[in-house]
Amino acid sequence: MQTIQKIRRESRKTANPLNTFGIFVLVTGALSVINTLVTLLLVGAFFSLAHKKPPTLVQLVNGKAISVAAMSSSNDRAPAVVRQFVMDSMMALLSATGKLPLEPGAKLGSEASDAGISIRTKSGDRRISTLSWQSSFALSQDFRPQAIASIADLTPPGAFNGQAQMTLITDKLSDPEKIADGQWKLILIARLETFSSNHPEGISVPFNKEIFVRAIDTPTPGDLTSTLQRAVYQTRQAGLEIYGMRDFQPGNLKP
């Protein structure tokens, strides 16, 4: 009997509310410490991400890598991007080699002959190269018709029967000069060279222009199954278009 009473007294001591409260305080304190540590880790990760340099390269779905830079507005374009866009566009617009552009995945040297694209001009029906036609989507909608008509007048008919070739040789392309928000002017000093069986040394014609460029919305890739879709996307993926061009006199060049 005394033994049973002793056990009961020990049980009451063990179940003391003060002991239970102490355990609760210890557990709560431990959880608070863990929560504080987790919060500090998250804050540290946030500040590390905030001060991390943005990526300089982004890989596109087609496998190409492009450079990226922070822009202050949607109309901003890096000067190098504007300049490269104009260089590539003008070279392609004024190219007539007698060969079609390579299709994706095709081997170099497998180009088919280019019959050209028929264009109606003031002097009659003429032709421009397929590459020139594809590249003309780098021009604004209102400027494109007159521009490709002028290119057709410059393109030698012999370019489509293997008797001639035309190419643009650039002597100088200025850095873009900002003339308004999302608009730039560049000066191109170049020569249009035409090679033929009669003139294998080439005939050179000055091609000096002021070129006006503006920012546009970058098209989404979408379904690029047709040649036309690919041409439009490739020429406008820089988010730029040429909306004007006029003759430039080299004597006006600044030293």
**What is the per-residue pLDDT across 182-228, written as a single tens digit (0 to 9) for each?**
999 999 999 999 999 888 888 999 999 999 999 998 877 766 667 77
Nearest CA-CA partner of 248 in 155, 202, 185: 185
Share of the chain above pLDDT 70, in %: 71
d(CA 183, CA 177): 8
User: Does one domain contain both 18 and 82?
Assistant: no
Specify the DSSP class assigned to residue 77.
-
Asked if residue 67 is part of any domain, the answer here is no
Residues 152 and 44 in one domain: no
* Distance (Å, whole) CA 185 – CA 213: 6
d(C-alpha 94, C-alpha 88), whole Å: 10
Q: What is the pLDDT of residue 33?
A: 72
Domain interval for residue 7: 2-50
50, 66, 89 - which closes a domain: 50
Q: Is residue 134 part of a domain?
A: yes
Mean pLDDT of the 73-101 span: 91
Q: Are residues 166 and 241 in the same domain?
A: yes
Strand, coil or helix: 71: coil
Residues 81 and 38 in one domain: no
Average pLDDT over the chain reads: 81
Do 27 and 147 fall within a single domain? no
Q: What is the mean pLDDT of residues 97-114?
A: 77
Does 68 fall in a domain?
A: no
Q: Look at the chain and count its residues.
A: 255
Residue 58 lies in a domain: no
Judge if 203 and 87 occupy the same domain: yes
pLDDT mean over 137-153: 95
| Tokens representing residue 215 in the block | 């920012």
- Count of structural domains within the chain: 2
Q: How many CB atoms lie within 10 A of CB 35?
A: 10
pLDDT at 220: 76
Q: Is residue 121 part of a domain?
A: yes
Confidence of residue 68 (pLDDT cuts 50, 70, 90): low
* Residue 39 shares a structural domain with residue 131: no
Please indicate whether residue 199 or residue 230 has the higher confidence score (pLDDT).
Answer: 199
The position carrying tokens 């290119």 is 151
Answer yes or no: do 177 and 100 share one domain: yes
Coil/strand/helix, residue 231? helix
pLDDT tops 90 at residue 55: no
60 in any annotated domain: no
Neighbours of 139 (CB within 10 A): 21
Lowest mean pLDDT among 94-108, 166-180, 188-202, 217-231: 217-231
Kindly indicate the confidence band of residue 112, based on its pLDDT and cuts at 50, 70 and 90: confident
Give the pLDDT band (50/70/90) at residue 7: very low
pLDDT reported for residue 255? 39
Q: Is 116 helix (H, G, I), strand (E, B) or coil?
A: coil
Flag whether pLDDT at 72 surpasses 80.
no
Q: Could you tell me if residue 130 is inside a domain? A: yes
Report the half-sphere exposure of 143 (CA within 13 A, side-chain side): 15
